[in-house]
Amino acid sequence: MASAAVSQPVHPRPAIELHDASVVFGTGEKAVTALTPTTLRMDRGDFLALVGPSGCGKSTILRLASNLIKPSSGQILLGGRDAAAKEMRIGMAFQNPTMLPWLTIEKNVMLPLKIVEPFKRSFQRDKKGAYRDRVHALLAQVGLKDFANHFPWQLSGGMLQRANLCRALIHDPDLLLLDEPFGALDQFTREELWQTLQELYLDRQPTVLLVTHDLREAGYLARRICVMSARPGRIISDRAVTMPQPRDIGLIYTPEFVEMTQGLRELIAQVRN
Amino acid sequence: MKENIRIRIMSLSLIVGFFVMWEVLCILLGVSDLILPRPSEIAVTLWTRFPVLWPHILQTLYATLTGFSLGVIIGVSIGVMIGTSRVAYGVAYPLLVGFSSIPKVAVVPILVLWFGSGTTPAILTAMIICVFPIVVNIATGLATTEPDLEDVLKTLGASKREVLWNVGLPRTMPYFFASLKVAITLSFVGAVLSETVASNRGIGNVMMTASSNFQVSLVFAGLFILALMGVALYAFFSFLEARVTGWATRGKDFAVT
């Protein structure tokens, strides 16, 4: 775990801290426990992959971190402060690309600059100048240079996810939350996007929390992997991935890598029942 | 594309054929022009009486559009209010359904009682009659907005107003414009209705007066004008709809961007 920490003493507080945070939906007999009291710390600049069987509460942790839901008990701190304090700038991407269908790709990607300070302040002034250039530069980096003025329905699933990544990163978030962002893509497109994401991550060094079903995805991208048990979920394994980054995509076929994912696989198979 | 043009031509010939049939049948069966004037007679009346009819056309248009604009403002406000809050939706909906199920004709006498005859009841009838479809469509559009789309903004820390402005309202535009097409037609009906009952101006009134004076071809001329105005208003809002909400239908010309 220690190997995963980035040597930046500027920010003393961890990016994400869950202190016995639990989530229960509903009340009384109909109450459903989505997350049993969980404690988790994540350092700034780290890349953590959360894997586990479906319904184990992976996405719940992500939604806690994004402040979309509040913990039923316990506490969640972002950058040492309450999640509502907006201490950390957050970028998020879901499995569904959720591009707004009435906006072009350029305007979709630009959306966070319209909402998030300090970009919001000068949005009206910069939207046709500096911000537009910023969006185009990022789109070019993920290979969507020529699609800025297209509408979402004119793009393929893989292209939409690239745009989605751009939108999650355009406002230079401190914290990037990814909820199975490549789940609906074919294997080739997925591997391409892993590389794109790795490049963007190493380039910008945000703190990344990735929820995924895909063990190879977790192993290839993350510096740390947490395995969760079946519902009600809790973290049963927490390990570092020490292979140096950037990693070549060929890595996922090496015996060392296969052995690691195999170990994770067995672990999850055990806790599924 | 070719199919399209063929359908247009056929539709045009149907319209022309309808009037030709009308004309021919009237001549063959010797129908009195006091019962059903021939289209050619109506056309002549339209042409010769047009200077007299013109101020009435403007009056009807004015009542319709004023009532419609008020209706849109009120309808959108109520729609946004009950569409963004589940509580307000549940509380206000039964009352709205109650109001909407009143035949609007029945309201005209009350409006006349309150405001006297003239332009005011025409405007108010046009307004009342078009509010409900707008409210329902706005509220439905907002209430059915995909939570995923809203989550995108919420994770960025957007305020409720920003979510409404950037996601809710644009998402609702197709519903809004669909309701405008219905609403403008209803407003038009409302204004003319009120004019026939209680006004001394407007096409509705012209038709009433002409009918009591047995100027049958003038009655039909009025009907023609109403039909043309109705089609024009509908076409205008269809055009607007296609321009603003093309993203929702992925129209053919829209794809070429």
Using CB atoms, pick whichever of A66, A86, A98 lies closest to residue B149: A98
What percentage of chain B carries pLDDT values higher than 90? 28
Alpha-carbon torsion, ordered B181, B182, B187, B193, to 10 deg? 130
Amino acid B70: pLDDT: 96
Of A67, A90, A98, the CB nearest to B148: A98
Size of interface A-B (CB pairs under 8 A): 64
Nearest CA in chain A to B155: A66
Chain A residues near residue B257 by CB distance under 8 angstroms: 149-151
- Collapsing DSSP to helix, strand or coil, A199 comes out as helix
Nearest CB to B155 within list A92, A101, A114:
A92
Chain-chain contact of A67 with B157 (C-beta, under 8 angstroms): yes
* pLDDT confidence tier of residue B84, bands split at 50, 70 and 90: confident
Q: Cα dist. A58→A128, A173, A182, A212, B241 in Å? A: 39, 21, 15, 8, 42
**Per the CB < 8 Å rule, is A68 touching B155?**
yes
Chain A interface test: which of B149, B151, B153, B155 (most A C-beta within 10 Å): B155
* Closest among B159, B167, B155 to A68, alpha carbons compared: B155
pLDDT of residue B35: 86
Map out the domains of chain B as residue ranges: 1-31, 38-255
Structure tokens at A124: 């009206």
Interchain contact, A149 vs B257, CB within 8 Å? yes
Q: CA-CA distance, B202 to B119, in Å (whole number)?
A: 9
Of 3.40.50.300, 2.60.40.740, 3.50.50.60, 3.30.479.10, the CATH number of A46-56+89-272 is: 3.40.50.300
Q: Residue B66: is its pLDDT beyond 90?
A: yes
A184 or A195, which is more confident: A195
Q: Residue B162 is nearest to which of A100, A115, A149, comparing CB atoms? A: A115
Checking if the pLDDT of B1 tops 80, the result is no
Residue extents of the structural domains in chain A: 46-56+89-272
In angstroms, the first-to-last Cα distance of chain A is 28
Taking an 8 Å cut-off on Cβ atoms, the answer to whether A111 and B152 are in contact is: yes
Identify the pLDDT of residue B253: 45
Determine which of B149, B152, B252 to mutate to test the interface with A (most A C-beta atoms within 10 Å).
Answer: B152
Mean pLDDT, range A192-216, rounded to an integer? 90
**CB–CB of A46/A208 below 8 Å?**
yes
The reply to whether A84 touches chain B by the CB within 8 Å rule is: no
Mean pLDDT confidence for B151-161: 86
Within 8 A of B245 by CB-CB distance, chain A residues are 102
**Alpha carbon distance A21, A15 (integer Å):** 16
pLDDT at residue B158 in the model:
85
Contact yes or no for B155 and A102 at CB 8 A: no
Q: Kindly state the average pLDDT of the residues B100-117.
A: 85
Contact call for residues A231 and A192 (beta carbons, < 8 A)? no
Mean pLDDT is highest, among A18-27, B31-40, B54-63, for B54-63
Q: Output the pLDDT for position A10.
A: 54
The tokens of A188 are what? 């080739």
Give the pLDDT confidence score for residue B64 in this predicted structure.
93
Mean pLDDT score, B64-74? 95
Q: Using an 8 Å Cβ cutoff, are A128 and A114 in contact?
A: no
pTM: 0.77
pLDDT at A209 over 90: yes
A86: chain B residues, CB-CB within 8 Å? 157
Question: What pLDDT, on the 0 to 100 scale, is given for residue A2?
Answer: 45
Mutate to test the interface with B, among A98, A109, A174 (most CBs of B within 10 A): A98
pLDDT of B102: 84
B152 contacts in chain A (CB < 8 Å): 92, 94, 98, 100, 111, 167
- Residue A3, pLDDT > 50, answer no
B99 confidence band (pLDDT: 50, 70, 90): confident
Q: How far apart are CA B174 and CA A239, in angstroms?
A: 50
pLDDT at A75 over 70: yes
Asked if the C-beta of A72 comes within 8 angstroms of chain B's C-beta atoms, the answer is no
pLDDT value, residue A11 = 54
DSSP string, chain B: -HHHHHHHHHHHHHHHHHHHHHHHHHHHHT--TTTS--HHHHHHHHHHHHHHHHHHHHHHHHHHHHHHHHHHHHHHHHHHHHHH-HHHHHHHHHHHHHHHTS-GGGGHHHHHHHH-SSHHHHHHHHHHHHHHHHHHHHHHHHHT--HHHHHHHHHTT--HHHHIIIIIHHHHHHHHHHHHHHHHHHHHHHHHHHHHHS-SSSHHHHHHHHHHTT-HHHHHHHHHHHHHHHHHHHHHHHHHHHHHSHHHHT-HHHH--
Q: Which class is domain B38-255?
A: mainly alpha
When pLDDT is averaged across residues A125-133 and rounded to a whole number, the result is 85
Res B162 pLDDT > 70: yes
Determine the average pLDDT of the residues in A144-154: 89
